[in-house]
Amino acid sequence: MDQIYIGVDVAKAWLDIFHPAHGAKRIENTPLSVRSFARGAAREGAWVIFEASGGYDRVLRDGLEAAQTSFSRVNPRQARDFARAMGVIGKTDRVDARMLATFGQRLQPTQTPPGSPTRQALLAQIVRRRQLVEMRKQEVTRLQQTTDCDSRSDIKSLIQLLERRIEKVETRIAEIIRSSPELAETDRRLRSVPGVGTIVAATLMAELPEIGTTDRRKIAALAGLAPIARDSGQRNGRRVIGGGRPTVRTVLYLAALHASRHSARFRAFRRKLQEAGKPVKAALTATARKLLSVLNSMVANGSNFQEVQAT
């Protein structure tokens, strides 16, 4: 019997569902409606395909996990590239749901592993910290743009409030990690690398749970650090990075910057690239990819970081 793939397009208030045998329908994006849909899909042995869509797909994912329904949460860019390859130019919720069902049937993506409650709690705090840091950044910019005394006083008080909230969230992040022996051990291992601090380690554990479970090429692609070829005929285009998970790529880039200053191993790697003519940004990107490869191997092998002498 062929596997049935159901495509689901996620919106804030509703889900558009396409079943290859029953056609299209729309349901509310609420726990009650989603649980009913998930139980039906589980009874049928169907596989659900949907795009990662910020927080809007949380209810759907929770419902599918509770019903033990197989599902794949796919990268929106990958799904859109597939649609273009199929000649689908238009974009509506129902078209997207149908295309996701076809995506599943043609490509048969791997099943998305269930997320543990602890990792979900960690992810929520990492996201909240990122939001607060961005708010603080905006207020600091506003402070630099005004000379009005009352406005500056108000902005400074808000910055102080945001800093206290950030500290509170960071304390909660540390508590969550300590509460899980698995996370605590991975955290200790990751932070054995110079340049990888608590927030970098926590972000990798929350937003890149595949670390240590796949090879270096796949983990680089997931993080958006894999070089993409742009060759045509006799033309060899410049390799660029793209796709993947932008927040993971950003923290790895910053970690690579620190690692290349404080670790002989990564300092030598970056220096060698720059001496060969690589621009600074390209050398740092390659260092970030090298750093991720090392971290991935450490988690997979259960080993700590081993420094080497610079050459």
Predicted structure pTM score: 0.75
Residues 101 and 124 in one domain: no
Average pLDDT over residues 14-40: 96
Residue 228 clears pLDDT 90, i.e. is over it = no
Residue 289: domain span: 199-301
Same domain, 93 and 48: yes
Q: What is the pLDDT of residue 124?
A: 92
Q: Flag the least confident range among 258-262, 295-299, 304-308.
A: 304-308
Q: Do 91 and 33 reside in the same domain of the chain?
A: yes
Task: Output the DSSP codes for 109-123.
Answer: PPPPPPPPHHHHHHH
Neighbouring C-beta atoms of residue 29, cutoff 10 Å: 19
- Please report the beta strands in 211-277, taking only residues with DSSP state E, as ranges in sequence order: 231-232, 235-236
Residue 79 in domain: yes
Domain end position, chosen among 107, 127, 156: 107
Q: Specify the pLDDT at position 54.
A: 66
pLDDT on residue 90: 64
User: How many other C-beta atoms are found inside a 10 Å radius of the C-beta of residue 59?
Assistant: 19
- Domain check: are 13 and 98 in the same one? yes
Asked if 279 and 212 sit in the same domain, the reply is yes
Considering 127, 146, 179, which residue would you say is the last residue of a domain?
179
- The half-sphere exposure of 139 on its side-chain side, counting CA atoms within 13 A, is 19
Query: Is 309 within a domain?
Result: no
75-99 pLDDT, tens digit per residue, is 887 888 888 888 876 667 788 999 9
Among 129, 151, 179, give the residue marking a domain's end: 179
**Res 141: pLDDT:** 97
The answer to whether position 308 is within a domain reads no
Q: Is residue 138 part of a domain?
A: yes
Q: Tell me whether residue 310 is in a domain.
A: no
Taking the C-alpha atoms of residue 265 and residue 269, their distance in angstroms, rounded to an integer, is 6
pLDDT of residue 311: 46
| C-alpha to C-alpha distance for 26 and 94, rounded to whole angstroms | 9
What's the CA gap between 160 and 165, in Å, rounded?
9
Q: What is the mean pLDDT of the chain?
A: 90
Question: pLDDT band at residue 229, thresholds of 50, 70 and 90?
Answer: very low
Pair 129, 172 in one domain: yes
The enclosing domain of 99 has a CATH number of: 3.30.420.40
On the question of pLDDT at 222 being above 50, the answer is yes
Is 60 exceeded by the pLDDT of residue 199? yes
In a domain, 184, yes or no: no
Do 80 and 135 have their domain in common?
Answer: no
Using DSSP, state whether 191 is helix, strand or coil. coil
Q: Which of 275, 212, 285 is nearest to 254 (CA)?
A: 285
**Tally of domains in the chain:** 3
According to the model, what pLDDT value does residue 246 have?
86
